[in-house]
Structure 1
Amino acid sequence: MIHIEPIPAFNDNYIWCIYDDDSGKAAVVDPGEAGPVEEALLAQQLQLETILITHHHFDHTGGIEALTKHRDIPVYGPKNHQIASITHRLDEQSSMSLFGLDFTILEVPGHTLDHIALYCEDTGTGQPVLFCGDTLFAGGCGRIFEGNPTMMLNSLQKLAALPPTTEIYCAHEYTLGNLAFANAVEPNNTALNTRIRADKQRREDDIPTVPSLLATELATNPFLRCTEDTVIDSVKAQGGSNGDSEVDIFTAVRRWKDNF
């Protein structure tokens, strides 16, 4: 059976460990640090077989060298030669298999130009899963460092079109801060207020708030709701939008969040 568990790293990163408990084989997604991965592998008696990378930022790639120093294992990631240790470079024409699971590669530039996401329709539970790095967060989205708002919006729309039952495995525990901003945008969103209470309780109990469900994101994440009247009216009340198009509203919401 396939399991997916978080390995906490740095202050708020999650390195995702995908493992098959029948074989004891494991893969990790975005290992920014090697130490926490090695500790988790040892604790669960797992053998690291594969590394998956979504984009080039150091807090997602910094552990690759140490993890591969004494292991001859593949490293899958975007077609970006800044990440010299990648052995299999992926784009939307690529596919890959892991422990018998088939993954689709989605190009989602915006946060960085090289960003990819990895989508699996079924891990054996009937539940689709998405490893989206820093593109879509629980309650938010990544900052736009290398792309532009149109590019980022297109990437988010691509992810929003996946099945609403998709589990969203993002790479940071930013949820409560994101939801505080979402509440500023849509203070009367009942689904959002319910989510805030639930996720605050999770953090008080030291439980990760991710993965979230895409359906939850569609109902509460302002960056996926830029066509909703409540979001549009809130942005206009802030005087933040130069136009009425979805990309105008998205740009204003992203700017608002950057200064929140």
Structure 2
Amino acid sequence: MWSYQHSNFTVHQFAALKDNYIYLIDAHNSGALIAVDPAEAVSISRFCKAHDRTLTHIINTHHHWDHTDGNKALKQKFGCKVIGPANDAHRIPAIDIAVSEKSPPRIAGLEITVLQLPGHTSGHIAYVIDDALFCGDVLFGAGCGRVFEGTRTEMWNSLTRLAELAGETRIYCAHEYTLANLEFAQTVDPSNGLLVERTVRTKQLRADHQPTIPSTIADEISTNPFLRPLNAEFCRYYASLRGVDANPEKVFTDIRDRKDRF
């Protein structure tokens, strides 16, 4: 487990399954204890037992099983409220409260913003709490989610919305994919010095069995190949090499297609 301090809460991070992360938001000024995308129940249950705490809420970003498999067991054990996207409510196990941008969750002591981010799935959402972003499978360290149910246009629009957040916003995504993503990024953006530096840091972290997440919005804008199309100079460079339109969305689409084949 790793822990990160924010002004109003602490985020506890647990490795799960092959490469998932589960997060536990521990509010400072209330008894709220919130699991984010519990792929399984064991990690959260052990924490609660060790610290004599009760899980009060679960928040899900989307319906995929490796984000929701712990819902039923945790709800049965703790009686916690399960919160998930309104557009995906019928596919969220044990859901109690459906939320959207217009109807965000109300949890004592925390101000939570919901962002609707279709692309990976049709109903995918993210939660922003102060300077923390819980984004499921939309944005990864140096990567983004596959487009399963939405369109590439929807995914691009979702990523650009996240890029508008403050640069210091910490990104708590749901998978440890960063090193593999950086290998692909080097084939897209080989002259990017910041990308080279990030790769060195990431290799050292993984060698030390440390997570590469959270990253920040600023890190992703400067090194993530799926956000680099926001940079006009990069778009021109990439378009000239690949023979595509220098339009940011067109460049993103070409990069996403390449990653699917990588």
TM normalised by structure 2 equals 0.90
Equivalents in 1 of 2:43, 2:71: separation in Å?
12
Cα separation, 2, equivalents of 1:25 and 1:94:
19
Cα distance in structure 1, aligned partners of 2:236 and 2:48: 47
Q: Note the 1:20-99 alignment, pairs <5 A.
A: 20=27, 25-79=32-86, 80=88, 81-99=90-108
**1:199-214 to 2 correspondence within 5 Å?**
199-214=202-217
The partner residue of 2:186 within 158, 183, 186 is 183
Which whole-Å CA distance do the structure 2 matches of 1:68 and 1:6 have between them? 20
Whether the 8 Å contact between 1:9 and 1:15 is mirrored in structure 2 is yes
Kindly state the Cα deviation for residue 42 of structure 1 after the two structures are TM-superposed: 2.3
In the aligned structure 2, how far is the partner of 1:192 from the partner of 1:38? 38
Write the mapping of 1:161-172 to structure 2, written as runs, cut at 5 A: 161-172=164-175
Aligned counterpart, 2:161: 158
**Alignment-derived partner of residue 118 in structure 1:** 127
The reply on whether 1:108 has 2:117 as its aligned counterpart is yes
Q: Cα RMSD over matched residues? A: 1.7
Q: State the 1:27 CA deviation.
A: 1.1
Q: Which residue in the other structure is 1:234 paired with? A: 238
Paired residues of 2:82 and 2:96 also in contact (CA < 8 A): yes
Query: Larger deviation: 13-22 or 59-68?
Result: 13-22
For 2:255 and 2:156, the matched residues in 1 are separated by 11
- 1:4 equivalent to 2:21? Answer no
Q: CA deviation at 1:250?
A: 0.8
Q: Describe the SS at the equivalent of 1:218.
A: helix
Q: Which residue of 2 aligns with 1:125?
A: none
Amino acid at match of 2:123: D
Cα distance in 2 for partners of 1:194, 1:187 equals: 12
Work out whether residues 138 and 212 of structure 1, in 8 Å CA contact, stay in contact via their aligned partners in 2: yes
Where structure 2 has 5 or more consecutive residues not aligned to the other structure, the ranges are: 1-7
CA distance in 2, matches of 1:22, 1:248: 46
3-state SS, counterpart of residue 113 of structure 1: coil
What is the deviation of 1:21? 6.1
Query: SS at 2:226's partner residue?
Result: helix
1:40 CA displacement:
2.7
> 1:44-88: CA deviations, max 9, x gaps?
333211100000000001110111113322111101211141111
Mapped partners of 1:25, 1:88: distance in 2: 16
How many pairs were matched up? 252
Deviation at 1:206, TM superposition (A): 1.1
Q: What is the percent sequence identity of the aligned residues? A: 43
Q: Return the offset for 1:235.
A: 5.5
Judge conservation of contact 1:168–1:212 (CA < 8 Å) in 2.
yes
Inter-partner Cα distance in structure 2 for 1:225 and 1:70? 44
